[in-house]
Structure 1
Amino acid sequence: MRLKGKVVVVTGAGSGLGQALALELLRRRARVAAVDLRPEGLEETREKAGPSEGLSLHALDITQEERVRALPEEVLRAHGQVDGLINNAGIIQPFKRFQELDLPSMERVFRVNFWGTVYMTKAFLPHLLRRPVAHLVNVSSMGGFLPVPGQAVYGASKAAVKLLTEALWAELQDTPVRVTLALPGAMRTGIAQHSGVEVKGAGTGGPILEPERAAQLLLDAVEKDRFRVLLGQDARAMDLLYRLSPLRAVRLIQSRMRGLLG
């Protein structure tokens, strides 16, 4: 889907990849409905965008189904149409082994990452189906296909998003809606801070992708109607290794994550 002149809803648009996506969409002359839990993050996005009639701000919690169901009408009042949805908002879990993680933390991760994506998709898909062309993007994670010690529940939530997206791609083939699955690796997004998670020790030691570059790659994939896009050198490398030798891939990531688990 060519993005010029289209209206795209972006969740998590107050920081990180979501903010970068909103700004890159505006640069490509799309209109953006920016959604985020934090009003201050949305105002930062507006400030970075500069004077623009193509940006609307919508502060809400995507885990509140009733509030999400009301969002499409807000977007239609602001822009008159909806052509795309990018489900980007997400959180990580505290870096703890499964047996050390409490159930409320597990449930919170699934509410945001999986159910937030479900609520947004259910709310907007009927509107996308009415357009001549439309696009749905769900942002999963490298952790959705590669198990990361200390992020087991986060990975499970992103694996659920991955399979849901692949199923939607298949179900929507005879409709105007195209679907793209995004699988980012390590990015400089501030997700730990916004998730309320303290990070100690070393990470994977791999390259860090800047969100601005990730946004460019993801939107290029949207304009080419790609089924799947791996964002970052680490995501591409680990995807290949996991296909060739799942055990070797899991052992590698396990050895690199030891510093975060103690």
Structure 2
Amino acid sequence: MKVENKNIVVTGGGNGVGREVVLKLLSKGARVIAIDINKSALEETYKISGGSDKLLTRVVNITDKKAVLDFAEEIIGTLGYIDGVINNAGIIQPFVQLKDLTFEQIDKVMDVNFYGTLYMTKAFLNHLLTRPEAHIVNIASMGGFFPVPGQSAYGASKAAVKIMTEGLYSELSDTNVHVSVVFPGGIATDIKKNSQLTNESASEKEKNSKLILSPSAAAEKIISGMEKNKYKFCIGKDSNLMDFMYRINPGFATKVIKRALGSKIH
């Protein structure tokens, strides 16, 4: 679905990849509704956009089902229609083994990553089916198709997004609604800090790694895949590499990632 002149909702639009997706959609002629739980972050996105009259912002807690349903009703009533939803918002867990995670940490990761995506999808789905053409893009993770030690709960939440989106693609394959699931690798954002489950930020070494995508590059690839109506696609060298390795030899790929990340688990 070409994004020009379309009304598109983006979750997590206050920072990182979500902010870059918002800005690139605007540059391509879309009207964007950016939502985030952080009001000041949304205000910064609006400021960076130059105060674009094609950008609307709303503070929404996507883990609150009623809030999401109310938002969908309000924004459809305000604009008349929505053509696309990009479910980008997500958080990670601290790099610790499952035995050391609290149930509260697990619940928060699952609530944001899976249930938030599910609520947003359900809130707009029936409306999208009335549009001449529409698109749902759900951002999973390379951790959603192979195991990352120290990120078991996060991986489970993204695997749930993967399977839910794949099922939705099948259900909607003969309709006007396109469905995409995206598997990013490492991206140079402050998702660790923004997740509020850890005070860590991405290190300079991580941000400068040749395997790590910039938020801008990631956003460009997400929108490009959307416009090409891609069903499933990886973005980032690390995601593509691990996808290939895991298909060829899952056991070997699991050992490789364990050796690479084992030192981060504490």
Same fold (TM over 0.5): yes
- Pairing 1:115–2:115 present: yes
How far the C-alpha of 1:94 sits from its partner, in A, is: 1.2
How far the C-alpha of 1:52 sits from its partner, in A, is: 1.4
| Residue aligned with 2:95, SS | coil
What aligned pairs does 1:1-262 form with structure 2 within 5 A after superposition?
1-196=1-196, 197-199=198-200, 207-262=211-266
More divergent stretch after superposition (56-65 vs 203-212): 203-212
| Residue aligned with 2:14, SS | coil
How far the C-alpha of 1:203 sits from its partner, in A, is: 6.5
Work out the number of aligned pairs and report it.
Answer: 262
Letter in 2 for 1:193: K
Letter in 2 for 1:241: M
Unpaired segments ≥5 residues, structure 1: none
Contact 2:42 2:57 (8 Å CA) reproduced: yes
* Distance (whole Å) between structure 1 residues aligned to residue 29 and residue 193 of structure 2: 31
Contact 1:203 1:257 (8 Å CA) reproduced: no
Letter in 2 for 1:237: L
* Distance (whole Å) between structure 1 residues aligned to residue 149 and residue 23 of structure 2: 33
Contact 1:141 1:158 (8 Å CA) reproduced: yes
* Distance (whole Å) between structure 2 residues aligned to residue 122 and residue 251 of structure 1: 37
Contact 2:188 2:212 (8 Å CA) reproduced: yes
* Distance (whole Å) between structure 2 residues aligned to residue 261 and residue 123 of structure 1: 37
Contact 2:92 2:154 (8 Å CA) reproduced: yes
Identity %: 44
**TM-score (norm. length: structure 1):** 0.96
* Distance (whole Å) between structure 2 residues aligned to residue 139 and residue 2 of structure 1: 18
* Distance (whole Å) between structure 2 residues aligned to residue 229 and residue 244 of structure 1: 17
Contact 1:199 1:260 (8 Å CA) reproduced: no
**TM-score (norm. length: structure 2):** 0.95
Letter in 2 for 1:143: G
How far the C-alpha of 1:80 sits from its partner, in A, is: 2.2
| Residue aligned with 2:9, SS | strand
How far the C-alpha of 1:228 sits from its partner, in A, is: 1.1
Cα distance change on mapping 1:146 and 1:206 into 2, 3 Å = farther
* Distance (whole Å) between structure 2 residues aligned to residue 178 and residue 81 of structure 1: 16
Contact 2:246 2:253 (8 Å CA) reproduced: yes
Contact 2:14 2:42 (8 Å CA) reproduced: yes
How far the C-alpha of 1:173 sits from its partner, in A, is: 0.9
| Residue aligned with 2:32, SS | strand
Letter in 2 for 1:105: Q
Letter in 1 for 2:127: H
How far the C-alpha of 1:75 sits from its partner, in A, is: 1.6
Unpaired segments ≥5 residues, structure 2: none
* Distance (whole Å) between structure 2 residues aligned to residue 79 and residue 45 of structure 1: 20
